[in-house]
Structure 1
């Protein structure tokens, strides 16, 4: 059985250059998969923001929405029309007091993974924290109990097992960016690797 296929003519305008469509939902992870219980989960913000710690109940108190978004992995596969349930980034940001000079964010995750993102990219209205995938609680292999989803960038920017945001004035590179991946990662421009 083939796990990937070329997009049909109807699908092709939704698929960035160099991508094939996945029949399933592949899982790519560097290192061990963290197992974090909802009871012990917490989310911190620090840096150029009023420091705060949020519990799972704080996230669930925010409005939940259904999202349908295409998902593009830098390893040349895409999955169209992925259905998620989650919390808008903009709703979460309304809880924070961010300093005006903040322009970049470092995402921090259970397991030690990090990835950077410009604040302007982070604040796009289509971005969300996912807690369900296709109607089911987000499994650990897909980044549960909660992951960030940034649909307009390659999936390594959609940090799994996210547990914190560090607000910065200047850019600092995360794990894959320090190891040769592009600092931004826009699929339609094929920003896969740093030049």
Structure 2
């Protein structure tokens, strides 16, 4: 599991320690690959499938998902392009809530998070189940904008931000690791910013499946 998202620098009172190679960002830049999808609430669905405990697919429409318990989380966002947002407030549904409502099978070890246009991001089940991993609908008390992922984006504070896709549509439980979109294209399979795991050439044995 990753280290805390922000820490006090030793010997520097009040100074935040960022992950190596990161710089503090004022504001929130828009970064994504591809066009912004149009949100169609009557056709939107969030699915949990794959290696579920009961072998069934679990689905919520937008109204049902919006009625799930809402939690606010204060957590940093570390982009692999080297900017960090510190102390951002995210509101939404905790990943642990989804895990409780649609438990994975005992043999599940990883998840693939699926988003619009077939975009995907893989991670260990333990990372997905971390205390502050959240399916965010709000940031700073306001609904996300479309450019920042409305209606739903995943925030995994202890991993680089690409691990939390915008425009999320579902989660697949997996019994073996499989690389997601950016992980197949040269990004690190784990993506821990405190270990500066940016690129696949940095991977060590056991960090991920063969490319």
TM-score (ref. length: structure 2): 0.84
Partner of 1:21: 24
- Residue 183 (str. 1) matches residue 189 (str. 2): yes
- Structure 1: give runs of 5+ residues left out of the alignment: 1-7
SS of the residue aligned with 1:105?
Answer: strand
Number of aligned positions between the proteins: 187
SS of the residue aligned with 1:98?
Answer: coil
Distance in 2, Cα, partners of 1:135 & 1:38: 21
What do you get for the CA RMSD once the two structures are aligned? 1.4
User: Alpha carbons of 1:35 and 1:11: their partners in 2 closer, same or farther (altered >3 Å)?
Assistant: farther
- Residue 32 (str. 1) matches residue 35 (str. 2): yes
- Residue 112 (str. 1) matches residue 115 (str. 2): no
TM-score (ref. length: structure 1): 0.91
Which deviations, in whole Å up to 9, do the C-alpha atoms of 1:54-103 show, x marking residues without a partner? Answer: 11222222221211111100011001111121111111211114211111
- Structure 2: give runs of 5+ residues left out of the alignment: 1-8, 202-211
Partner of 1:46: 49
- Deviating more after overlay: 53-62 vs 159-168: 53-62
Asked whether the 8 Å contact 2:46–2:65 carries over to 1, the reply is no
SS of the residue aligned with 2:117?
Answer: coil
Partner of 1:5: none
Asked whether the 8 Å contact 1:105–1:168 carries over to 2, the reply is yes
Which deviations, in whole Å up to 9, do the C-alpha atoms of 1:103-133 show, x marking residues without a partner? Answer: 1111110122111011011001111111111
**Residue 12 of structure 1: how far off its partner (Å):** 3.2
What pairs with 1:58-97 in structure 2 (closer than 5 Å)? 58-97=64-103
- Residue 168 (str. 1) matches residue 174 (str. 2): yes
Distance in 2, Cα, partners of 1:24 & 1:46: 36
